Amino acid sequence: MVWGLFPLFFAGAHLNVEQIGVLAAIYPGVWGVSQLVTGALSDRLGRKGMIVAGMWIQAAAIFLVVLNEGFAYWALAMMLLGLGTALVYPTLLAAVSDVAHPDWRASAVGVYRLWRDGGYAVGALLAGVLADALGVTWAIAAIGLLTFLSGGIVLVRMYETLLAKAAARGTLATCPERKA
């Protein structure tokens, strides 16, 4: 969506190529810098809350794009999208690593990445089909809704993996959730 639909959406809103390029650069820039902090932060705060918050921030950013007009709103949305992705991306990898036995951890992370990366391809196809059927704006909104619902599923279904990892190491007393 970010690399396919957003540029089309912004071009349809009569932004010039330079403005579209800046918006396209804000997202990975914020994501890349922020994940240096969020990855380490998830080791202290836990995984589940950061994943849920990240997905909901991503959804809010997506809705900000479709519900507002103008470069400044869209730049803010791209910053939020980058922050949300930074909360989710390294934290999901850490959650997989938390629950995988050291003997098969590398394979577990590889399987996770296979499904995640396969999701990019399926998501791109779905976004294209939705854009053709409903229009670019509705396709973007639908992806925002799916992102929000995914955060809800994580909230309801996922357990805190950092707590499980601390218990397995015998360091439960130092786990942040244990102190709360």
* Domain residue limits, the chain: 5-179
pTM for the whole structure: 0.87
Give the single-character DSSP code of 101.
Answer: -
Nearest to 68 by CA among 144, 132, 152: 144
* CATH fold group of domain 5-179: Growth Hormone; Chain: A; (1.20.1250)
Q: How far apart are CA 12 and CA 126, in angstroms?
A: 20
| Tens digit of each residue's pLDDT (9 = 90 or more) over 124-175 | 999 999 999 999 999 999 999 999 999 999 999 999 988 766 666 665 444 4
| Tens digit of each residue's pLDDT (9 = 90 or more) over 17-69 | 999 999 999 999 999 999 999 999 999 999 999 999 999 999 999 999 999 99
| Tens digit of each residue's pLDDT (9 = 90 or more) over 67-108 | 999 999 999 999 999 999 999 999 999 999 999 999 999 999
